Structure 1
Amino acid sequence: MKPDKEKKMKLYRWGQSAYETEEDLRKEQEGLCDIDCSLELGTTPPESADIQGLIVTSKVSVDSQIMSSLPNLTFVLTTTSGYEHIDLEYARNHDIVVGRCPIARRDAVIDTSIAMALSLVRNLPSLHHEAQKGVWARAQLPNRNIKRISNLSIGLIGYGIIGRAAFRVWSDLGAKVRWHDPNVLGSFPLEELLSMSDVVSLHCAHTPSSHNIVCTETLNMMPVGSILINTARGKCVDMEAVTQATHLGGFGLDVFPCEPPELLSSYAAHPNSILLPHAAGYHNELGSSVANEVIDSITMWMENNNLPHVV
């Protein structure tokens, strides 16, 4: 159903993330007003039957009960890359389009994943750990597997918006890059990718096929001294298997199956590890970037009844 051009499209913004300021929300509200939309901001579930579009954060659950209470709902747009908080089956069965906003965080996620990978490849956390013990570890260097970017083989799991951008950046830096994504033509077989990679970096959604894609079996396919990076989804990695994979050279994790993880300090005890509090996508302009992407996404909806990044 196309928006009625004779009146403003009614939208409801449910929730505000910690990084979003009142100025960010005002910018979003004014930008949507400019394209003939009326945006109501709220912290409680939507109640008006007139709502046509729902904008949400990852902190709320958009389930069948919520969507069924909005008879005129045409789309749900999450301000995040992930969409696990939305009942996709119900939405698809009732012709409700679900979209997401991956661009606002894309470059920050790539920056973080590459920063972690290079730090671990260069053994920086481990060398710092030695310094904290008062050890001048220069004599250890010949026994450490420290490579330059031009000698690295990178394996990306996931070749969507973030994975493709990561491929370009790693390639520009001079690394050899391969990728695995069963949904994209040209994908490397997973076993082959893992066995050839110095660094394996996850950039995939969490789906039934990617659940615990990094497990004991797949970790054993990775070479001795290789590095694991996960800035994608926590449930794509079996954490117990990672902690028991003593052949790994290190791991950098931004996401975990349960957050915050109960065993955080235990995971951090690995000398060549980097653990972040789901921070990879953050930057100091994130709130403004999200507002811009929301406006751009709904502008596209108003023009051709679709969203740019449909789930």
Structure 2
Amino acid sequence: MTDALLVLVETINDYLPILDGCGLGRIVAPTPASRAEAIQLHGERIRAVLTRGPLGLYAEEIEALPNLQIICVIGAGYEHVDLQAARKRGITVTNGAGVNASAVADHAMALLLALVRNIPNADAGVRRGEWSKVMRPSLAGKRLGILGLGAVGLAIAKRAALGFDMTVSYHNRQPRSDVSYSYSASALALAGASDFLVLATPGGAATAQLIDKAVLQALGCEGFLVNIGRGSVVATADLIEALQQRQIAGAALDVFDDEPSVPDELKALSNVVLTPHVAGLSPESTRATVQMVADNLAAFYAGKPVLTPVPMSG
């Protein structure tokens, strides 16, 4: 039987032919049921897995794939891939950090504009026959804080500083020596120095609920939050309370704790803009991310170093 690549990602079907050169047959299993069935029926054949950070690959699944050699993650985050289980088996893990940065940055700015300028509510009002003119802030001259200045954060910073004349500051695990943006020593300090706070950091234990009640209070009643990173970065209950009590002015969210489930409390709020984790989706970025997977697989099976290895130390 043909060795196989198990594809768990649900949004790349049109680009799967890019992977044909890797020499593996494809098993496409984008739902929990089809995923479990594929692992049960074809576990012996599966040599590679293609997944996303929120979809992950868990220890019990890795154990059920005795011939698994490589796990390829589309996008930067790999928070639900069990790296310890992969490391014990000597399985290579790669990601696609930075490949879809332009699309994500575009979406972050679109969310920020829609939120601050109240576009969804204005549109809905006109459709209802209303003609309500509400004064809203502009972006020019405002302070933008970015949590996570990787490829996506840098792309957002460039758009904000050069396109909207905003002052940019950021918080990272370490300051960057290659940028002129102001560094904040913590998420709390960043929020206090920001009118708009954009979350562009990966998920995982290191960033879990980093944005909590204290950070939201520091952002303040005129501050806006945009999250295109991971839902886990925000303490959702604290965010809902802050929005309900107008402790912050509003939030725009593309990511959530338990996708595709979104809390009803968020849906009920007029000061929230919601999108279904689509920031990284564009024809250009999707093609590029799948091509990165193909390039990593080609390098791996040619006995060469993969292009974007996930650190496996620890």
Does TM-score exceed 0.5, indicating one fold? yes
The CA distance in 2 between the partners of 1:284 and 1:208, in whole Å, is 31
Instruction: Give unpaired runs (5+ residues) of structure 1.
Output: 1-9, 33-37
State, as a whole percentage, how many aligned pairs show the same letter: 23
Residue 40 of structure 1, aligned match among 25, 29, 36:
25
Which has the higher mean CA deviation after the structures are superposed, 119-128 or 251-260? 119-128
- Residues 291-311 of structure 1, C-alpha deviations (whole Å, 9 max, x = no match): 311123334544742332524
- The answer (yes or no) to whether the contact 1:81–1:102 under 8 Å persists in 2 is yes
Number of residue pairs matched by the alignment: 287
The CA distance in 2 between the partners of 1:28 and 1:39, in whole Å, is 8
- Offset at residue 112 of structure 1 (A): 0.7
The CA distance in 1 between the partners of 2:205 and 2:9, in whole Å, is 28
- The answer (yes or no) to whether the contact 1:101–1:309 under 8 Å persists in 2 is no
Q: Which residue in the other structure is 1:235 paired with? A: 232
The CA distance in 1 between the partners of 2:45 and 2:240, in whole Å, is 50
Alignment of 1:62-73 (within 5 A): 62-68=57-63, 73=68
Q: Which residue in the other structure is 2:279 paired with? A: 280
Q: Which residue in the other structure is 2:256 paired with? A: 256
Amino acid at match of 1:247: Q
CA separation of 1:147 and 1:97: change in aligned 2, threshold 3 A: same
TM-score, normalising length: structure 1: 0.80
- Offset at residue 240 of structure 1 (A): 2.0
The CA distance in 1 between the partners of 2:260 and 2:46, in whole Å, is 38
Q: Which residue in the other structure is 1:188 paired with? A: 184
Q: Which residue in the other structure is 2:86 paired with? A: 91
The CA distance in 2 between the partners of 1:156 and 1:200, in whole Å, is 6
Instruction: Tell me which structure has the larger Cα radius of gyration.
Output: 1
- Offset at residue 161 of structure 1 (A): 2.5
Amino acid at match of 2:147: I
Amino acid at match of 1:47: G
Matched, 1:147 2:147: no
Matched, 1:13 2:12: no
- The answer (yes or no) to whether the contact 1:297–1:308 under 8 Å persists in 2 is yes
- Residues 197-228 of structure 1, C-alpha deviations (whole Å, 9 max, x = no match): 11111111112231111111110111321110
The CA distance in 2 between the partners of 1:191 and 1:104, in whole Å, is 29
Which has the higher mean CA deviation after the structures are superposed, 160-169 or 251-260? 160-169
Q: Which residue in the other structure is 2:146 paired with? A: 156
Q: Which residue in the other structure is 1:57 paired with? A: 51
CA separation of 1:206 and 1:71: change in aligned 2, threshold 3 A: same
The CA distance in 1 between the partners of 2:309 and 2:159, in whole Å, is 21
TM-score, normalising length: structure 2: 0.79
SS at match of 2:266: helix
Q: Which residue in the other structure is 1:35 paired with? A: none
SS at match of 2:251: strand
The CA distance in 1 between the partners of 2:286 and 2:64, in whole Å, is 29
The CA distance in 1 between the partners of 2:256 and 2:112, in whole Å, is 17
SS at match of 1:220: helix
Q: Which residue in the other structure is 2:206 paired with? A: 209
Amino acid at match of 2:51: T
- The answer (yes or no) to whether the contact 1:196–1:223 under 8 Å persists in 2 is no
- The answer (yes or no) to whether the contact 1:124–1:272 under 8 Å persists in 2 is no
SS at match of 2:206: coil
Amino acid at match of 2:269: H
- Offset at residue 171 of structure 1 (A): 2.2
Q: Which residue in the other structure is 2:108 paired with? A: 113
Residue 223 of structure 2, aligned match among 219, 222, 226:
226
Amino acid at match of 2:27: G
- Residues 161-199 of structure 1, C-alpha deviations (whole Å, 9 max, x = no match): 222222222222122111111245564122221111111
SS at match of 2:219: coil
- The answer (yes or no) to whether the contact 2:3–2:24 under 8 Å persists in 1 is yes
Which has the higher mean CA deviation after the structures are superposed, 64-73 or 282-291? 64-73
Residue 27 of structure 1, aligned match among 13, 18, 21:
18
Report the RMSD for the aligned CA atoms in angstroms: 2.8
Amino acid at match of 2:120: P
